[in-house]
Amino acid sequence: MKRRLAVRPGSPAGLSSDTLQLPDDGATATRHKAQLRKTEMNLITFSDRISKFLMIVAALWAFGLTFMILADVTGRGAFDAPINGTTELVTASIVIIVFLQAGYAIRSRSMLRADFLVVHLPPKTQRILAAIGYLLGAAFFLMIITGGWQESIDSFVEGEYEGEGALRVPSWPARWTVLLGSALAMVNYCVMAYVDVFRPDLMRQEVEEMKQLDMGH
């Protein structure tokens, strides 16, 4: 529907006494709602792509790490020539790999959870309880960020490192990866809380996609 606005004779800009067509408030609200939905989907898609990219980086890192460990064990056992710094690199890499994959594990709903009681509640109550759990998870990662922010800065400025001897591994990459992974995990927990409460249609779609993926494996 459209509203008509009458213009009296003598109006500026050569307007006649014909009527002007103005969009109805309902149409405007619908258009704004559609734009909002598009914006929120773009933000969710952007977060998902970052999570998946970091997961792939972590997987490749872990894959490369296996060859380093194999070479170190082979060199140590067969030639009495281990690779210096392997222990320090593996220790730092484990932390980095875990936090690079944390965001994707959360967003793909792959985290372990006990729902033997929740499944007997109404669907709406289940979504609300799940959202509360997600917000608590976001709060947990926020505490990691606030608690480790200053230490990460100090580690970079002071040149903190791990290990002694031939190879000293800087500590700041692992510390900053913890902050990055925690920030993404916090964002994904908030996204899931929003989806479960306000967009149950997306939640059902994600759950169905997960079921199909599990069946494919």
pLDDT digits (tens, 9 = 90+) for 56-102: 999 999 999 999 999 999 998 888 888 888 888 888 899 999 999 99
Per-residue pLDDT of the chain (217 residues; tens, 9 = 90+): 444 444 445 555 444 444 445 455 677 777 777 777 778 788 888 888 999 999 999 999 999 999 999 999 999 888 888 888 888 888 889 999 999 999 999 988 888 777 778 888 888 888 888 889 999 999 999 999 999 999 999 999 998 887 666 677 888 999 999 999 999 999 999 988 888 888 777 766 666 655 554 455 4
In-domain check, residue 97: yes
Q: How far apart are CA 111 and CA 205, in angstroms?
A: 18
At residue 17, the pLDDT reads 45
In-domain check, residue 98: yes
For the chain, the domain total comes to 1
- Parent domain of 74: 48-216
In-domain check, residue 33: no
Q: How many Å from the N-terminal Cα to the C-terminal Cα in the chain?
A: 52
In-domain check, residue 59: yes
In-domain check, residue 104: yes
In-domain check, residue 75: yes
Q: How far apart are CA 136 and CA 8, in angstroms?
A: 61
Paired residues of 21 in beta bridges: 4
In-domain check, residue 5: no
In-domain check, residue 29: no
Q: Are 86 and 169 in contact (CB under 8 A)?
A: no
